[in-house]
Chain A
Amino acid sequence: MNETLDAESAEWVRGLAGSGGRREAALARLHERLVRIARGEVSRRGPRLAISGPELDDLAYQAAADALVAILGKLGQFRGESRFTTWAYKFVILEVSAKIGRHFWRHPAVALDGEDWDRLPGWFGFDPVQEAEWRDLLAALRRAVETELTSRQREIFVAIVLNGVPLDALVLRLGSSRNAIYKMLFDARRKLRAALAANGYLPDDCSGGS
């Protein structure tokens, strides 16, 4: 299994898959690394989050602990496509993301049942000088949202685009997966673009798929 691993990665796998004091030492070393990476990641994302101080630190420790469990559970799946530490750090980065998504619903700043169309001009950087034009564009976009999207696509578009719910937070609320929500939003974007292009609001696109 380990013939393709670099020496350092092989040492990690041997230590973690072993027993006794050697395993304990490897676990402690990995946990320490994961905590450091998690703390680095929450500080990197911190300025854009409504979380700070001890709460952020707590989130980092929880992410490291959960990542360690996940890594041990999947140790047999590590194939040496990257260094072991890179593979392991992916787990802790994903745990940080998931925990930030969960945290959103502790103090949600948005309502899921509204449709905040007034958010869009600022979000898309529309120039107030061109208001007459973009009002027309937004009306066309709104019509396309109502007529072109399925109810599930509309629900996701409204939550993410109009109401500013982070995708990972919506995943938790809908009991879905990031992949499924992204795919639905992807299809919604493609349909909306096609509708706006067909009505002359956007240029025809030959690279946007069918």
Chain B
Amino acid sequence: MNGWPALERFLRTDPRDVGCAQAMEMLHVYAELVASGDPAEERYPGIAAHLHACGPCGEDFQGLLAAIRGEAP
């Protein structure tokens, strides 16, 4: 149907997206849920939507996740 998937993905916006400030405020809580295997995306869909769409916040999330996973017993 659409021959421009990357452009389509870039331009598509999710109305649930909470933005950087709210996502960063809760990043430690969200990352810990993900690390423990809890359904973080279901509990915080707006943060999940944001982390998928925002490169810098997504990078910070991956960094924090790597940090806490690296500390796992």
Give chain A's interface residues, CB within 8 Å of chain B: 37, 40-41, 44-45, 81-83, 85-87, 89-90, 93-94, 96-97, 123-126, 130, 133-134, 137, 141, 161, 166-168, 177-179, 182-183, 186, 189-190, 192-193, 196, 201-203, 205, 207-210
Please give the distance in Å from B47's CB to the nearest CB on chain A: 13
- How far is B14's CA from A205's CA once the two chains are assembled, in angstroms? 11
Q: Are A82 and B56 in contact (CB under 8 A)?
A: no
CB-CB < 8 A to A93: which residues of B?
A: 60, 63-64, 67
Give the interface size bracket for B toward A: 35 or more
Given contacts A124-B4, A179-B19, A202-B4, contact A44 B54 (CB under 8 A): no
CB-CB < 8 A to A37: which residues of B?
A: 67
Q: Are B11 and A193 in contact (CB under 8 A)?
A: yes
Number of A-B contacts (CB under 8 A): 119
Please give the distance in Å from B49's CB to the nearest CB on chain A: 11
CB-CB < 8 A to B57: which residues of A?
A: 178, 182
